[in-house]
Amino acid sequence: MQDSFGRDIKYMRISITDRCNLRCKYCMPADGLKNKLTHADILSYDEIIKIVRVAKSLGIEAVRITGGEPLVRKGVPDLVRELSKIVDVSLTTNATLLPKYAMELKNAGLSRINISIDTLDANAYKEITRVGNLDEAIAGLEAVLDAGFDPVKINAVAMKGIKQNYNDFARLTFEKPVHVRFIEYMSIGDIEGKYISEEEIKAQINADLHPVSGPIGSGPAHYYQLDGAKGTIGFITSQSNHFCNTCNRIRLTADGKIRPCLFSDVEYDVRSGNIKDVLENAIKNKPAGHEGKSGTFRHMSQIGG
């Protein structure tokens, strides 16, 4: 279905939980969320499947499961198995639970996995995630490659004040067939911060990055490759260079609210009426862009990125 600005809405991000086993500085408060959702607030898998069926009838072709950390919720492979009978299904995760789940997710029909790792330095990883262990995330990455997922993308939020060595990621693209994407930090919730731009990252890598076409499911990222590398380096410039005019997505929160725009707190409750009417209304009212808007009442962990 097209929104009122002629954009074809084909993609839905589905947050299945607001819980997480990490506490990334830019995403969650140190002591976790104050107003966690209750069991009754959270959409059941049956409700999610029903919503996706209706969304498909309106033109949604692909969904991405996210969180919080989606893999802390029980039974994700079962959800993937059902959803992948309806649409293309991918997942975004911090990877720490993938050694347990990667193969099961592959067998359930999951198409692709994006992994969030912001630094390849163990101490810096601990500092950014507050409680995380880099070895566990790397074991998750290995498990995904071993399970045969392709492409495998790594998301790294680029933000001033956190310790990141972009050359470590550049080196990783020679060692493994991974697509690293630097995502500009977005000001959401009450966390202060400033993004690091594509130009600053390229200056640090300081090598010949050739523009290349991205792997399947690239969304708004654009990509480069270093000579002889197995993988690529991409950028998602949501702050310095808005891509609202090509935005094809809506979001479903774990408590059943459709958010037509990440940066707008206008939400449509799927439990408030007929699902088709709610979805149509949300798509019709998707704003043109987020120019001038920043910060929302939710943290990113409650929206899913």
Considering only residues 99 to 138 of the shown chain, the ones binding ligand SF4 according to CB under 6 A are: 116
Q: Are 197 and 208 in contact (CB under 8 A)?
A: no
Nearer to ligand SAM, 1 or 145 (CB): 145
Pick one of ligand SF4, ligand SAM, none as the site partner of residue 185 (Cβ within 5 to 8 A by kind): ligand SAM
The H or E element spanning position 201 is: helix 198-205
How many chain residues bind ligand SAM (CB under 6 A)?
21
Longest CA–CA span in the chain (Å) reads: 54
Residues of span 13-32 touching ligand SAM by CB under 6 A:
20, 26-27
Among 1-9, 41-49, 60-68, 244-252, the segment contacting ligand SAM (CB under 6 A): 60-68
Task: Give the alpha-carbon dihedral of 131, 97, 155, 14, to 10 degrees.
Answer: -110
Determine, following the binding rule CB under 6 A, whether residue 116 of this chain makes contact with ligand SAM: yes
Assess 128 for contact with ligand SAM (CB under 6 A): no
Judged by CB under 6 A, the residue of 286, 301, 302, 303 near ligand SF4 is 301
The span of 161-169, 206-214, 279-287, 297-305 binding ligand SAM (CB under 6 A) equals 297-305
The Cα–Cα gap between 179 and 260 comes to: 27
Q: Is 261 in the site for ligand SAM (CB under 6 A)?
A: no
Give the integer Cα–Cα distance in Å for 214 and 161: 29
Is 108 among the residues that bind ligand SAM (CB under 6 A)? Answer: no
Specify the pairing of strand 222-226 against strand 209-212. antiparallel
**Measured distance CA(204)–CA(259) in Å, rounded:** 36
Find the part of the chain contacting ligand SF4 (CB under 6 A) among 61-69, 119-127, 196-204, 249-257.
61-69
Identify whether 151 is preceded by a cis peptide bond (ω within 30 of 0): yes
| CA nearest to 191, candidates 157, 220, 147, 145 | 157
CB-count exposure of residue 291 (10 Å: 0-12, 13-18, 19+): exposed
Buried/exposed code over 78-108 (b: 16+ C-beta within 10 A; e: otherwise)? ebbbbbbebbbbbbbbbbbbbbebbbebbeb
Q: Which of 17, 66, 173, 253 binds ligand SAM (CB under 6 A)?
A: 66
Among 77, 231, 234, 304, binds ligand SAM (CB under 6 A): 304
Q: In the complex, what is the shortest distance from the CB of residue 248 to ligand SF4, in angstroms, rounded to a whole number?
A: 23
Residues near ligand SAM (CB under 6 A): 20, 26-27, 66-69, 92-94, 116, 155, 157, 183, 185-186, 188, 300-301, 304-305
Residues near ligand SF4 (CB under 6 A): 20, 22-24, 27-28, 67-69, 94, 116, 301
